[in-house]
Every structure is written in structure tokens, then in C-alpha cells.
Amino acid sequence: MEEKQVEKISKRSSKFKAFFITSIVLCVFGCFLVFIFLWYGGYVKEFVCNAVKQDSLIWTKSNCVTTTSEQDSTKQFPLEPTIQLGQNINSNEDATVESVVNSTNGSVVGIGLVNTANDSANQIIGSGFVISKSGLIVTNRHVVEDESSKYYIAFKDDTNTVEISSTNIFRDPVNDIALIKIDNNQIPSNVKALVLGDSDNLNLGQTVITIGNPLGKYSGTVTKGIISGLNREVTITKGFFSTQKEIYSDVIQTDAAINPGNSGGPMINLNGEAVGINFATVEGASNLSFALPINRIKSRINELEENGKFRIPYVGVEYKSKVMFINNQTIIGSEIVSVIDKSPAQNAGLLKGDIIVDFNGSSLESETLLSLIQKTTIGSKISMVIYRNNQQKTLEVIIGER
């Protein structure tokens, strides 16, 4: 009996020791967790800093700092808003835009279609702008495309309109531009001629202004945006089931709003210079419109003054841009989509599928084929380097006149 009682006491003692040790371990572990929480929560540091004197060793080692009231902190570190309510951060640019619009808006005109039917009113179908007090007005060729129709010009006040003789419209179908010539006394005395800028000196992000007659009824509408892209290629489809395509290269992309009726109006920089001719927008997309570089009209102006007509260099090919990989090198060229019958290109032996990589010594990597052709003298003989079936050939082409 005594042995059994001793055994029971021994077992109870062992269980008590195990329970006691476990409780101590859990208590220590719990205290450790509480200390960690208080330490990382900053409570330990705050207690120590409040318990010791300032500038003591413990104070310094604990990186204690003197707290200030919210009022004192505000005095030491005044918080001022970067932009105050009602402040216009674009005030300088806005003032410049207003000044440019005031000085150029009167130069923009409406291009109207004369309806011959007695029950139909005349209708504004596009825009244009005066570039010379001698009577020159710029617009798009597609605005005055129909040579059998009668057109008129409406100046800003809408009371002064001038009917245009069909013989006084000079069209450039390659570049979609047109010049209209009227008598200088038909231009109101308060209308200024727009200064032509340099479209070869444009930068991405540059602010531009467009003025025109959207939908043919909101005359003198002003929109502002930036140049979103340069050297774009735009394909315009037209005709029955959009079977006809016209490709325009080196055009300017902008996010300024351009709508039907804006075609032919000016794109203006902040110096008040016309740097582009608005001509196209993408349906179903936002802020995606295009303008033709103003430099394209300059040579046409000189031709009109010297010859009384446009003289347009002509090769006779339709093409699209093409990137080739030859001998581990990337080469940009122009792939011929079609060759026009009896054209200089056909006479020189150019074929559909040929890829032009060099035009008279100039690479097509920095300039498009269209711009190189337009810079060439009519009647001159030039060389073209092409690839046909991966074989390089050199052909000679005599530049014609369209």
C-alpha cells in the first residue's frame, strides 16, 4: 500500500513539474511577444524617453526628440498649396492662344457649294485661308474636287461672299491641296494674309491651333491640341464600296479636333504661322486627326506665279512602305502596289511588287518616295535602285508631268 501511494505521489509530482515548466515557457514567450509589440510600436522608446532626463546618455542612445505642438510645427514648417484654388497654371499659354486666334481668325474662310436648284440653299462644305493679299487662298483639293460644280468663298462676317470661277481653281491631286485665285479687291480690307511657317521644323508635343467650319455651320471654330505624330502615312478610301485608295505620306498627326467641314483650314503654331492644312480625321476614334505639311504648298505657289498653273512631277506608281531584312541589315523601301499605264514608271520597266530602296542617290529611310519625287525637276533622268525577287537592279526613270 505504501509503495503504491509513493508511486501516485511521484506521478503527480512529475505532472505538476511538467505543467509548471510549460506555464513558465508560455508566460516567457507571451511576455516576449508583448515586448516585441511594444518595442516596434514605439511604446518602449516613448516610456524610456519620458523616464530619463533630456541630453542624458540614455536619451542620446535612444534617439529621443522633443515633440512640438501642432501649432508650433505649423509655424516652423508652413504648408502652402502648390496651386491655389482658381489659379490657372496655363495662363501664359492661354493668353498666347487668344492672341493668335484674334490675329488669324479673320484669315480663315468658308468654301461653299453653289446649289443650282431653286429650292436649295448654298452650303459651306469646307474651309480655307488667305495666304496673300493678292488674292490667293489655300484649301484641300477634295473640297473643290468636282470641276463641274460652282463654288464660292464666305469670309468671316458671312455677308461678304465671292463666287469662284472654275478656271481660278488649281488642284494638286497628289498632295490633296488646291489654290484659289480671286481678285485682290475682293478680299475685305480687314482680312490679313496668314504667314506660312516651316513644317520641317515641328516637334512632338508642340501646341497647335486649328480653325475651320465644322459641319459647315459653326464658322470660325477654334480647337487646340498638340502635335501627336510626324511623318505619318494615311490611306483615304473613296468611291464605290471604298474601292479607290489614296495614300498620303509625311503628314502631321494631332489631337486637336478636326471634323467634316474643317478640311482646308489652317493648323497654326503659337507664333501665328500656318504650319499645316487640316485634311482628315479617323472615324470612330477620338483625338486622331491629320494635317498636310504647309511646305507642300510653297512650291505650288511659285509654279502658279511663274507658269500660271501647277507643274507636278510624276512617276506613276502607287506604293506602300516596306521593311526588308537583307544581309542582316534592316532596309526601308517602297513596295509598288500598281503601275499606271503609259506612265514614266511603266516606260522605265518598273513592275508591281518591285521594292524601291534608293531614289537618285537618296535613301528612303529618312524621306518618303513622294517627297523625293516632288523635289525632282520635270524632265530630268534619275536612277532607282530596286529589289525584284530578292535581286537588286538599277533602273533609269525620266520624271514626267502630271
- Are 270 and 122 found together in one domain? yes
- Are 199 and 240 found together in one domain? yes
- 239 in a structural domain: yes
State yes or no: pLDDT of 271 exceeds 90: yes
Which residues in 66-173 belong to E strands, given as ranges? Answer: 108-113, 123-132, 136-139, 151-154, 161-164, 169-172
State yes or no: pLDDT of 70 exceeds 50: no
When pLDDT is averaged across residues 26-39 and rounded to a whole number, the result is 70
The grid cell for 337 is 502596289
Q: Where are the alpha helices (DSSP H) in 215-308?
A: 295-307
Give 181's contacts (C-beta < 8 A, 6+ positions apart): 135, 136, 137, 168, 169, 170, 304
State yes or no: pLDDT of 72 exceeds 60: no
- Are 253 and 363 found together in one domain? no
- Are 63 and 95 found together in one domain? no
The grid cell for 357 is 530602296
- Are 300 and 155 found together in one domain? yes
> Residue 256 and residue 254: Cα distance in Å, rounded?
5
59-79 in b/e form (b: 16+ CB < 10 A) is beeeebeeeeeeeeeeeeeee
Specify the range with the lowest mean pLDDT, choosing from 203-207, 330-334, 340-344, 385-389. 330-334
- Are 22 and 56 found together in one domain? yes
- Are 48 and 101 found together in one domain? no
- Are 305 and 317 found together in one domain? no
Q: Write out pLDDT tens, residues 48-64.
A: 666 655 555 554 555 55
147 or 38, which is more confident: 147
Please give the pLDDT value at position 82.
Answer: 41
Q: Could you give the number of structural domains in the chain?
A: 3
- Are 303 and 325 found together in one domain? no
Determine what percent of the chain is predicted with pLDDT higher than 90. 37
When pLDDT is averaged across residues 134-163 and rounded to a whole number, the result is 87
Please give the pLDDT value at position 273.
Answer: 94
The grid cell for 236 is 483615304
State which residues form the domain around 380: 313-401
Please give the pLDDT value at position 64.
Answer: 56
When pLDDT is averaged across residues 218-227 and rounded to a whole number, the result is 91
User: Under a CB-based contact definition with an 8 Å cutoff, are residues 355 and 322 in contact?
Assistant: yes
When pLDDT is averaged across residues 217-226 and rounded to a whole number, the result is 90
- 286 in a structural domain: yes
Please give the pLDDT value at position 65.
Answer: 47
> Residue 159 and residue 152: Cα distance in Å, rounded?
12
Annotated active-site positions, please?
142, 176, 263
- Mean pLDDT estimate for the chain: 80
Integer angstrom CA distances of residue 90 from 94, 95, 224: 6, 9, 13
DSSP 308: S
The domain that holds 129 is classified in CATH as: 2.40.10.120
Please give the pLDDT value at position 384.
Answer: 94
The residue type at 9:
I
- Are 61 and 201 found together in one domain? no
- Are 284 and 321 found together in one domain? no
Q: Write out pLDDT tens, residues 346-387.
A: 999 999 999 999 999 888 877 778 878 877 888 999 999 999
State yes or no: pLDDT of 394 exceeds 90: yes
Specify the range with the lowest mean pLDDT, choosing from 240-254, 285-299, 370-384. 240-254
Integer angstrom CA distances of residue 69 from 72, 73, 75, 201, 323: 5, 6, 10, 58, 69
> Residue 215 and residue 217: Cα distance in Å, rounded?
6
Task: Tell whether pTM > 0.75.
Answer: no
> Ranked by mean pLDDT, which of 213-217, 240-244, 343-347 comes out on top?
343-347
Query: What is the β-pairing status of strands 195-196 and 273-281?
Result: parallel
- Are 184 and 105 found together in one domain? yes
- Tell me the pLDDT band of 25, cut-offs 50, 70 and 90: confident
Torsion of CA 381, 382, 386, 388, to 10 degrees: 0
